[in-house]
C-alpha cells in the first residue's frame, strides 16, 4: 500500500495519520474502522467476485465505500496498519459453531499487531459483534471491553485457565481460544499466514450451500453509542449498548436501498436477495 492509498483509507474511516504506531493509535484506528466500515456479505448475493488481492480490497472498501467479511476487512486493515508502521502478522482461525464444533480451516482471519511502545495485540475488525478495541495478546486474564468480557486461553484449557490434557500435546499448544463472556468464539492458530492462504476459506464461505453466508444476508456496524445497527435482508435491528433490541421490517426495495445508503454509506443499484445473485 502506498502512502496516498493509506491517506484515502484513513479518510474513509475518519481517522488522522498517527505520528507513531502506538497502542493508543491502534485503539483509535480499530474503533474508527468498526464505526464506519460495515461487516457485510452483500457481494455473495449480488454476484460480485471476491478476490483477496490488496488492490481489489482497497477498491471495494475505500473506493466503493463498501464493507466485507473477515478476509476482506482484516486483510485491508492489516495492509493499512503495516503502511503506518505497525508490525502485522496474519493469523488463521476456526470459528466455533453449533454444539461447540469448530468450522473449516481458514474459517476466519485475524491480526496480531505489534506497536512501537512494546504492545502485542489481537486485532479483529472482521468478526461482526466483537471487541471494540484490540485485546492484549499475552494477557490470559479477563479483558473488559465495551463489547463484553474477553479472554485468550490456550486451546484445551477450561475458562478458568486450567490446562486440559489435550492442550499439552501436538499443535494444540500453539492455538488460542478467544472467549467472549465465557463462550468460545474462535480458535486462533499462531502460525503466520499470508492473505492468499485464505482463498479456499473465502471460496467455501461464498459458494457452499451450508455456509451461513450463502444462506443469509447481513450488513452490520458498530454505532457511536456502543450499540449496533444490522440489516438482515429486510429486517432492520437497532441494538442499544445495554443489549436492548428494536426491530422493524422494511416493506419496499426503496426503503432497503435507503437504509443501505443512509445508515451504512453503501450505494446499491438493486437490493441483494438470497438466491438471487445473478438476477
* 32-37 own/partner pairs: CB under 8 Å, 24+ apart: 33/73, 33/77, 33/125, 34/125, 34/132, 34/221, 34/222, 35/221, 35/222, 35/223, 35/224, 36/12, 36/221, 36/265, 37/12, 37/13, 37/61, 37/67, 37/68, 37/73, 37/125, 37/221
DSSP letter, residue 16: P
Chain segment 82-138, per-residue pLDDT in tens: 999 999 999 999 999 887 889 999 999 999 999 999 999 999 999 988 999 999 999
Rounded CA separation 238/253 (Å): 19
Question: Out of 30, 33, 108, 205, which one is annotated catalytic?
Answer: 108
Residue 245's CB is within 10 A of a number of other CB atoms, namely 11
33, 45, 107, 124: the catalytic one is 124
What is the distance between the alpha carbons of residues 161 and 248, in angstroms, rounded to a whole number?
A: 42
Model confidence, pTM: 0.90
In a domain, 168, yes or no: yes
Question: Is residue 55 in some structural domain?
Answer: yes
* Distance between CA atoms of residues 202 and 107, nearest Å: 8
Q: Please indicate, yes or no, if residue 152 is contained in any of the structural domains.
A: yes
Domain presence at residue 232:
no
Residue 103 lies in a domain: yes
89 and 111 Cβ atoms separated by less than 8 Å: yes
Lay out the sheet containing 148-154: strands in order across. 135-136, 120-123, 108-114, 87-95, 183-193, 175-180, 148-154, 143-145
Q: Which structural domain range is residue 35 located in?
A: 3-199
pLDDT tens for 1-49 read 889 999 999 999 999 999 999 999 999 999 999 999 999 999 999 999 9
Q: What CATH number does residue 112 fall under?
A: 3.30.2140.20
- Assess if residue 185 is contained within a domain: yes
Q: Which three cell numbers stand for residue 143?
A: 479483558
**Residue 231 within a domain:** no
Domain count, the chain: 1
197 is catalytic: no
Q: pLDDT tens for residues 49-73?
A: 999 999 999 999 999 999 999 999 9
- Does residue 228 lie in a domain region? no
**124 tagged catalytic:** yes
Amino acid at each position: 500500500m502506498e502512502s496516498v492509498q493509506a491517506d484515502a483509507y484513513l479518510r474513509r474511516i475518519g481517522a488522522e495519520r498517527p505520528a507513531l504506531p502506538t497502542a493508543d493509535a491502534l485503539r483509535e484506528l480499530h474503533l474508527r474502522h468498526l464505526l464506519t466500515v460495515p461487516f457485510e456479505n452483500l457481494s455473495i448475493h449480488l454476484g460480485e467476485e471476491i478476490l483477496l488481492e490488496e488492490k481489489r480490497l482497497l477498491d471495494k472498501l475505500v473506493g466503493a465505500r463498501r464493507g466485507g467479511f473477515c478476509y476482506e476487512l482484516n486483510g485491508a486493515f492489516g495492509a493499512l496498519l503495516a503502511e503506518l508502521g505497525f508490525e502485522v502478522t496474519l493469523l488463521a482461525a476456526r470459528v466455533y459453531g453449533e454444539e461447540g464444533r469448530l468450522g473449516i480451516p481458514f474459517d476466519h482471519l485475524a491480526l496480531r499487531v505489534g506497536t512501537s511502545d512494546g504492545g502485542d495485540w489481537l486485532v479483529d475488525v472482521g468478526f461482526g459483534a466483537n471487541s471494540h478495541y484490540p485485546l492484549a495478546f499475552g494477557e490470559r486474564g479477563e479483558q473488559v471491553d465495551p463489547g463484553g468480557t474477553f479472554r485468550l486461553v490456550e486451546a484445551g484449557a477450561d475458562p478458568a485457565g486450567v490446562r486440559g490434557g489435550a492442550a499439552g500435546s501436538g499443535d494444540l499448544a500453539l492455538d488460542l481460544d478467544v472467549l467472549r463472556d465465557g463462550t468460545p468464539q474462535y480458535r486462533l492458530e499462531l502460525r503466520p499466514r499470508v492473505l492468499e492462504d485464505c482463498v479456499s476459506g473465502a471460496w467455501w464461505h461464498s459458494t457452499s450451500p451450508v455456509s451461513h453466508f450463502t444462506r443469509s444476508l447481513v450488513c452490520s456496524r458498530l454505532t457511536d453509542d456502543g450499540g449496533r445497527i444490522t440489516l438482515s435482508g429486510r429486517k432492520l435491528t437497532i441494538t442499544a449498548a445495554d443489549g436492548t433490541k428494536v426491530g422493524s421490517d422494511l416493506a419496499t426495495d426503496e426503503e432497503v436501498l435507503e437504509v443501505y445508503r443512509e445508515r451504512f454509506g453503501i450505494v446499491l443499484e438493486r437490493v441483494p436477495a438470497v438466491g438471487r445473485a445473478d438476477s
